[in-house]
A and B are shown apart, each in its own frame.
Chain A
Amino acid sequence: MSDIIEKALSSGDGAPKVSRINEVVIRIAGNSQDGIQAIGGFLARLAGRSEQEVMTFMTIPATISGGASIFQVRMGSGEVLSSGDEADVLLAFYQHSYDAHISSLKKGGIVMFDSDHVVPNPELEKTYHHVGIPISSLTVEAIGGTAKDKGKNIYSLGLIAKTFDLDLPKLEKLIGERFTGKDPSILNNALAAFHAGYSHSLGNLLETFKFTDAQKKDGTQIVMNGNEALGYGLIAAGVRFGAGYPITPWSDIMELLRRELPKYGGMFIQTEDEIAAISMAIGGSYAGRVSVTGSSGPGISLKTEALGWAIMAEMPLVIVDVQRGGPSTGMPTNIEQSDLNIAVNGGHGDAPRVVIAPANVEDCFYMAIEAVNIARKYSVPVIILTDQGIATRIEAFVQPNLEKVCQDISPDFTPIADHKPYDLSTPNSVSLHVPPGTKINSGKYPIVTGLEHDELGHPTGSPKLHQQMTAKRRKKLQALGATLPVPKIYGPSEGNVLLVGWGSTEGPIKEAVDRARAAGDSVSSIHIKHINPLPNGLENIFSGFNHVFVVEMNDEGLYGFGQFGAILRARYCDPKIQGLNKTDGLTWKVKEILERTKTNLTAGIRKL
Chain B
Amino acid sequence: MSETLLAKPVTAVSTTTPPVEERKGLTKKEIAADHPTWCPGCGDFSVLALYFKLIEKRKMWHEKITTVAGIGCSSRFPYFVQAHGAHYIHGRALPFASGISLSRPDLHVFVFGGDGDAFSIGGNHFNHTARKNIKMTYCVMDNWVYGLTKKQTSPTSPLGFKSKTDQWGAVDYPINPMKQAIAAGATFVARTTHTNPNHVLQMMEAAMDHDGFSFIECLSECVEFYEGAFDASNPRKGGVFNEVPKSHDVTDELAAYKLADEPFPGSFGIFYKSNKPTKNAKEAEIIKSFQSKTAGLKDWQILQKNFDRMK
Q: List A residues at the B interface (Cβ < 8 Å).
A: 45, 48-49, 177, 220-224, 228, 232, 235-236, 240-241, 243, 260, 262-267, 269, 271-273, 275-277, 279-289, 291, 305-306, 309, 313, 399-400, 402-403, 405-406, 408, 410-411, 413-414, 435-440, 443-451, 458-459
Contacts and interface: CB of A to CB of B under 8 A. Distances in A.
Contacts of B300: 236, 402-403, 405-406
A451 B84 contact: no
13 contacts: A262-B287, A263-B290, A263-B293, A267-B103, A276-B94, A279-B88, A280-B95, A283-B95, A283-B98, A289-B12, A436-B107, A439-B62, A447-B86
Interface string B93-105: 0111111111110
Interface in B80-95: 82-89, 92, 94-95
A437 B311 contact: no
B303 A235 contact: yes
Nearest to B287: A262
B13 A288 contact: yes
A263 B104 contact: no
A446 to B, nearest CB: 7
Contacts of B106: 437
Contacts of A265: 11-12, 14, 287, 291
Given A267-B11, A445-B33, A447-B78, A282 B84 contact: no
A504 B65 CA distance: 45
Closest 7 pairs between A and B when the two form their complex, measured CB to CB = A283-B99, A436-B84, A279-B95, A276-B95, A406-B300, A272-B128, A262-B290
A439 B17 CA distance: 12
Given A283-B101, A437-B16, A439-B62, 10 more contacts: A262-B290, A265-B287, A275-B95, A276-B98, A282-B96, A287-B103, A436-B66, A436-B100, A437-B64, A448-B85
B303 A402 contact: yes
B309 interface: yes
B109 to A, nearest CB: 9
Contacts of A438: 63, 84
A437 B293 contact: no
Contacts of A449: 78-79, 86-87
B30 interface: yes
Q: DSSP class of A's interface residues: helix, strand, loop or mixed?
A: mixed
Interface string B106-129: 110000000000000000110110
Contact of B104 (A306, A436, A450): A436
A458 B34 contact: yes
Given A436-B63, A445-B82, A280 B88 contact: no
A413 B87 CA distance: 22
Contacts of A403: 300
Contacts of B283: 262, 267, 269
B87 A399 contact: no
Nearest to B30: A443
Contact of B86 (A45, A313, A399, A437): A313
Interface bin, chain B:
35 or more
B242 to A, nearest CB: 35
Contacts of B101: 283
Contacts of A177: 309
A104 B100 CA distance: 52
A402 B307 contact: yes
Contacts of A48: 311
A516 B13 CA distance: 53
B4 interface: no
Contact of A49 (B15, B85, B311): B311
A267 B303 contact: no
A267 B287 contact: yes
Contacts of B85: 445-448
Nearest to B61: A439
Nearest to B106: A437
A304 to B, nearest CB: 11
Contact of A220 (B88, B103, B311): B311
Nearest to A289: B13
Contact of B291 (A222, A263, A281): A263
A410 B89 CA distance: 27
Contacts of A283: 95-101, 103
B149 interface: no
A406 B294 CA distance: 16
A417 to B, nearest CB: 14
A408 B299 contact: yes
A241 B86 contact: no
Contacts of A443: 30, 62, 82
B310 interface: yes
Nearest to A277: B95
B304 A445 contact: no
B99 A291 contact: yes
Given A280-B95, A436-B66, A263 B294 contact: yes
A468 to B, nearest CB: 20
Contacts of A279: 88-89, 92, 95-96, 99, 125
Contact of A284 (B92, B99, B124): B99
A284 B88 contact: no
B64 to A, nearest CB: 7
Given A289-B103, A450-B89, A280 B13 contact: no
Nearest to B290: A262
A305 B89 contact: yes
B13 A240 contact: yes
A232 B79 contact: no
A21 to B, nearest CB: 24
Given A276-B128, A402-B307, A408-B299, A445 B62 contact: yes
A354 to B, nearest CB: 21
Contacts of A305: 89
B286 interface: yes
B49 interface: no
Contacts of B14: 265, 410
B306 interface: yes
A30 B12 CA distance: 44
B183 interface: no
Given A262-B291, A403-B300, A286 B100 contact: yes
A399 B125 contact: no
B102 A241 contact: yes
Interface string B1-21: 000000000011111100000
Interface string B264-297: 0000000000000000000100110111011000
A532 B14 CA distance: 33
Given A439-B61, A448-B86, A260 B103 contact: no
A177 B303 CA distance: 18
Contacts of B303: 232, 235-236, 402, 406
Interface in B120-142: 124-125, 127-128
Contacts of B294: 263
B63 A410 contact: no
B82 A444 contact: yes
B302 interface: yes
A287 B12 CA distance: 10
Nearest to B286: A262
